[in-house]
Amino acid sequence: MNPRKWKLAWVSFLLPLIILGITWEVRGKAEARGEKMSVEDLTVEQIVQKANRVAYYQGSDMRAQVHMLIKDGKGRTRERVLTILRRDDEAKDEKDDEICADQRFYVYFKRPADVNKTAYLVWKHLGRDDNRWLYLPALDLKKRIVAGDKRTSFVGSHFLYEDVSGRNINADVHELVETTKNYYVLKNTPKDTEAVEFAYFNVWIHKETFIIIRSEYYDSKGEKYRVYDALKVERIEGYPTVIVARMKDLRTGGETVETHKNVRYNVGLPDTLFTERYLRNPPKKYLR
């Protein structure tokens, strides 16, 4: 064989092996650092969609018992014990992160005595304002919550009504400002600044689970005033789930720690449960 052709044949044979070896070396070093190789980088829109699905759309429905410990700036504490029920209005392919349906939420309070039997109902819409109702048993009053009230305190805690049912991802402009070993860091700026009390907020999204681990809210002066932290995460029925979370008010020094127990997905909650009639007549079967 011609020496030149012999050399070209060996190069043709060895080159793929050399490239493969380099690829596996890079992948091995990345995995040793706890990173995962991906075919292509995610866009900021894909990151937001995945995080939103994990936070609010896992399973076709969900039930959880929630304990809130509310602490003011002087260290005085109060508690809330409640059940949250959530149902999606339509079936979805859980592998498709872009599919986010309208939802319904039912929240029922058990303790303390002054909020016992209080019920909160939300019909969450993607293309328009949500419908929200609050039932106050002491007054036997069913109150419609207007759209502007969703950025107010959720029954005296440091969480807001919108924290419970979720913020529409189309309400903000999202910017990927940093990528670390474990997190995507996004800056989110509201499109309608008159509708919210914050100028922007940053979130840290875990790369593997897409759980929002931390959120920091800033006012118009650029001062951080509100912070959310996911303190404990577990996999339940295969779904990564925040079990303990905390919301801090840096201005007052107060905070609320929220603990979830008996979390269940795909319970089979009927759509008729999420109607106004159950505000006064709670569905006891699903609240145990």
pLDDT tens, N- to C-terminus, the chain (288 residues) = 554 444 444 444 444 433 334 333 433 444 444 444 343 489 999 999 999 999 999 999 999 999 999 999 999 999 999 999 999 987 656 665 566 778 999 999 999 998 899 999 999 887 788 888 999 999 999 988 876 677 889 888 999 988 988 888 999 999 999 999 999 999 999 999 998 999 999 999 999 999 999 999 999 999 999 999 999 999 999 999 999 999 999 999 999 999 999 999 999 999 999 999 999 999 988 997
Q: How far apart are CA 214 and CA 257, in angstroms?
A: 14
Q: How far is 239 from 58, CA to CA, in rounded Å?
A: 7
Q: Report how far Cα 108 is from the mean position of its chain's Cα atoms.
A: 20
Burial degree of 73 (CB within 10 A; 0-12, 13-18, 19+)? exposed
Per-residue pLDDT, 90: 73
Nearest-angstrom CA–CA distance, 230 and 235? 14
Residue 93 identity (one-letter amino acid): D
Neighbours of 263 (CB within 10 A): 20
Q: Of 73, 109, 54, 43, which Cα lies nearest the Cα of 256? A: 73
Phi/psi at 25 (5° precision): -65, -45
Q: What is the pLDDT of residue 39?
A: 31
Please, what is the Cα angle at 192 between 187 and 194, to 5 degrees?
Answer: 115
Q: What is the pLDDT of residue 29?
A: 42
pLDDT computed for residue 145 by the predictor: 80
